[in-house]
């Protein structure tokens, strides 16, 4: 399966600047999905989000992913767990986007409720887990993937912070095993400079998505979507065992 590129956009104002819209239009051929980081908006008002989406839709001809990343998971969202679920249920009422990110919380049944409600509204779901401190052992990573898979989402995403090259290998091994064992699409990203290969070579390890920046990086080690789109085909050749041709 070809790894899809997700372009991340973090607006800082209640309406997008013309430069943001021009970037979406300019680099649209370099990504497959646009991620709108709604946690970065100065207001959580639903009407503000609707207005921003309407702006984007004038230029975007790809699926739109909405992500509210909490502080706990490395974003700027300050909603507590109860308010997070309630607000996400409101977001799901909007019909102008196709995908939504749901943060995974262990032993929290409300996440399953959100995934089920997203299905009712015909939204594709990415269940995500972030660890900015370390890379858990492979047994823990595999368990997280398995527990996330029980929610019924289409995509399972884990992003961790490696402290060594071996940590990167640990994550990629977990991606391989999860992608072979589970029915969902799996993504595993090692953040920071050590983990660049996990962003560029997802396809070689069974990963479904990789994230790139439209402007500034929204996560450590994230590179621009144009650079990603130029590098990814190399790993597609490796994955598909296509012989390299020399001029």
Contact present, 212 and 2 (Cβ < 8 Å): no
Q: Is 112 annotated as a binding residue?
A: no
Other C-beta atoms closer than 10 Å to the C-beta of 152 total: 15
- The tokens of 74 are what? 């490395």
Q: Is 66 annotated as a binding residue?
A: no
Contact present, 193 and 222 (Cβ < 8 Å): no
Burial of 217 (0-12, 13-18, 19+ CB in 10 A): middle
Q: What is the 3-state composition of the chain as percent helix, strand, coil, each rounded to the nearest 5?
A: 45, 20, 35
Provide the H-helix boundaries in 81-186. 81-91, 109-120, 138-149, 165-181
Q: Is 73 annotated as a binding residue?
A: no
Q: Is 222 annotated as a binding residue?
A: yes
Q: Is 8 annotated as a binding residue?
A: yes
Is 57 catalytic? The answer is no
Catalytic annotation, pick one of 57, 62, 130, 137: 130
- The tokens of 153 are what? 């989402």
Q: Is 114 annotated as a binding residue?
A: no
Residue 92 phi, psi dihedral angles, 5° rounding: -65, -15
Q: Is 199 annotated as a binding residue?
A: yes
Is 157 catalytic? The answer is yes
Catalytic annotation, pick one of 44, 119, 123, 157: 157
Residue 220 CA: distances (Å) to CA of 13, 55, 90, 133, 198: 23, 28, 30, 12, 12
Q: Which residues are catalytic?
A: 130, 157
Which residues sit in the known binding site for 3-dehydroquinate? 8, 35-37, 69, 199, 222
Q: Which residues contribute to the annotated binding site?
A: 8, 35-37, 69, 199, 222
């Amino acid at each position: 399966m070809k790894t899809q590129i997700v372009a991340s956009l973090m607006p800082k104002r209640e309406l997008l600047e013309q430069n943001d819209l021009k970037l979406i239009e300019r680099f649209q051929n370099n990504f497959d999905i646009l991620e709108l980081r709604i946690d970065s908006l100065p207001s959580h008002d639903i009407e503000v989000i609707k207005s921003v989406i309407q702006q984007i839709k004038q230029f975007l001809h790809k699926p739109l992913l909405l992500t509210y990343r909490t502080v706990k998971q490395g974003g700027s969202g300050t909603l507590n767990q109860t308010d997070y679920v309630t607000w996400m249920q409101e977001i799901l009422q909007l019909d102008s986007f196709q995908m939504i990110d749901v943060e995974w919380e262990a032993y929290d049944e409300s996440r399953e409720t959100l995934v089920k409600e997203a299905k009712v509204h015909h939204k594709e779901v990415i269940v995500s887990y972030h660890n900015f401190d370390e890379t858990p052992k492979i047994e823990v990573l595999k368990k997280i993937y398995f527990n996330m898979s029980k929610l019924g989402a289409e995509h399972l995403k884990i992003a961790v912070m490696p402290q060594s090259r071996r940590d990167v290998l640990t994550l990629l091994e977990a991606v391989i095993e999860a992608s072979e064992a589970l029915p969902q699409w799996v993504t595993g990203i090692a953040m920071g400079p050590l983990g660049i290969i996990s962003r560029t070579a997802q396809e070689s390890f069974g990963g479904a998505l990789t994230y790139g920046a439209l402007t500034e990086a929204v996560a450590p080690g994230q590179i621009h979507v144009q650079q990603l789109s130029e590098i990814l085909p190399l790993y597609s050749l490796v994955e598909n065992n296509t012989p390299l041709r020399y001029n």
